[in-house]
Amino acid sequence: MHPRPLSGLLLITCGLAALAYHCMRWTTSGTTLDLNLAVFNHDCPLLIPLPPIIGLVSFATGTPLLLSGRPKPF
């Protein structure tokens, strides 16, 4: 597969994923205080909101890239 349709397929899947999941969430953990007898840890949740325009633009950009790899009819 050529790079242009492959990048179009990647943009389409990322665009659909951005429309399906409205935000990216993950949790980081770290050590707050480390004593000899006890270790205190903390968890910090992180959230990055994804506006729907990102998914729409990604889908609209990936569609022509995917269709540009089709063989030309005679």
The whole-angstrom separation of Cα 1 and Cα 66 is 11
How many residues belong to the chain?
Answer: 74
Mean pLDDT of the chain: 85
- Per-residue model confidence (pLDDT) at position 1: 63
Partners of 26 in the beta sheet?
A: 46
The whole-number average pLDDT for the span 18-44 is: 85
- Per-residue model confidence (pLDDT) at position 18: 87
Task: For residue 39, give the amino acid letter.
Answer: V
Q: What is the 3-state secondary structure (H, E, C) of 4-66?
A: HHHHHHHHHHHHHHHHHCCEEEEEEEEEEEECCCCEEEEEEEEEEECCHHHHHHHHHHHHHHH
- Per-residue model confidence (pLDDT) at position 10: 92
At residue 13, does pLDDT exceed 90?
yes
The whole-number average pLDDT for the span 8-29 is: 88
At residue 47, does pLDDT exceed 80?
yes
